[in-house]
Amino acid sequence: MGYEKLMTENRKPFGEIPFPCSACDAECCKFYTITLTAFDLFRLIEFCKRTDFLACKPVEEVRSKRDHPFFLTKKGKPGEYFLCLKRDEKEICFFYGGGHICLVHPARPLVCRIYPLTQKADSSITYKKKHRCPADWKMDAKTIGDAEEMIAQQDRELMGYGKFCREWNAKYSKSGSFAEFVDFMYRKGKDAVVMDEQKRILKTEKFHKLD
Ligand code: SF4
Ligand code: SF4
């Protein structure tokens, strides 16, 4: 699918936007830098057949503490980076289509699917009340069940991505370009994901017991 087609065909909500997001002006899409794993990268490239939405951000410019950094040497200078979605000059996500529209909704990153829900140390699900999200979330059984499933998947994917980053850092950090990093992670993601029955949202079944 070409990018123009993506922009026109996907400029509509994918199904009904559930409350409370339907009553919000997509505050999260206009504020956060979205960090990605190899699995998010693979799902997004498969969905939109492009790579120009990817950004390589120095770690000091990103607030994330969970994601894994990788190393690149640019113009002879080594640096530590996060893999992110591009943002425009107003700091809005590259894929934000206005209103309640995410242009890549079926393949959106896991962090977008989970936000603002989070898991406490005792494993119970709650939401980040002091974050950007203005909504009061109703923590019903379905919301909690979905969040538990997605957070477990995110944990697996972060473990796998951490392993890939360590491999990249050990082998290619002094010689590899960002384009080569993207290709490396695409191939790693492709090897590890399993398509669901709609062939859109992809799941990872590996990486339960990585060191
Ligand atoms: S998660 Fe929160 S900030 Fe994001 S669209 Fe939904 S209500 Fe708005
Ligand atoms: S990928 Fe979609 S859901 Fe995630 S921040 Fe961008 S527009 Fe919002």
**At 138, phi and psi to the nearest 5?**
-85, 115
The atom of ligand 2 lying closest to the CA of 95 is 7
pLDDT tens, residue by residue, 108-144 = 999 999 998 989 989 899 887 767 888 888 888 988 9
Residue 91 lies in a domain: yes
Q: Atom 4 in ligand 1: which residue has the minimum CA distance?
A: 28
Task: Give residue 202's pLDDT.
Answer: 56
> Phi-psi bin for 5: left (phi > 0), alpha (psi -120 to 50), beta?
alpha
3-state helix, strand, coil in the chain (%, to 5): 35, 15, 45
Q: Take residue 49 and report the two structure tokens written for it.
A: 């057949």
Note whether residue 88 is domain-resident.
yes
- Ligand 1 mutation pick, 16, 17, 24, max ligand atoms within 8 A of CB: 24
Which atom of ligand 1 is the closest one to the Cα of 115?
1
**pLDDT over 70 (residue 26):** yes
pLDDT of 13 > 60? The answer is: no
**What are residue 203's phi and psi, to 5 degrees?**
-120, 150
Residue 82 has pLDDT above 90, yes or no: yes
Distance 95 CA to ligand 2 centre (A): 6
Task: Determine the atom of ligand 1 nearest the C-alpha atom of 116.
Answer: 1
Ligand 1, atom 2: nearest CA belongs to which residue? 133
204 or 89: which carries more pLDDT confidence? Answer: 89
CA nearest ligand 1 atom 3, residue? 133
Does residue 142 fall inside a structural domain? yes
| Summary mean pLDDT of the chain | 83
Is the pLDDT higher at 198 or at 192?
192
Extract the runs of DSSP E, i.e. beta strands, from the chain: 54-58, 70-74, 77-85, 117-119, 125-127, 193-195, 202-204
Q: Is residue 211 part of a domain?
A: no
Residues within 6 Å of ligand 1 by CB: 20-21, 24, 26-28, 115-116, 132-133, 135
**Any domain includes 210:** no
Number of domains in the chain: 1
CB contact at 8 A, 58 and 84 = no
12 pLDDT above the threshold of 80: no
Percent of the chain predicted with pLDDT > 70? 82
Report helix angle 38-48 to 141-172, nearest 10: 100
- pLDDT value for 210: 35
Residue 68 lies in a domain: yes
The one-letter amino acid at 43: R
Q: What is the distance in A from the centroid of ligand 2 to the CA of 127?
A: 18
| Residue 24 structural domain | 3-204
Question: Closest ligand to 88 CA?
Answer: 2
Residues 6+ apart with CB under 8 A from 41: 54, 83, 182, 185, 186, 189
Helix (H/G/I), strand (E/B), else coil: 202: strand
CB 133 within 8 A of CB 28: yes
Question: Is 209 contained in some domain?
Answer: no
Tokens of 98: 């206005």
Q: For residue 127, tell me if it sits in a domain.
A: yes
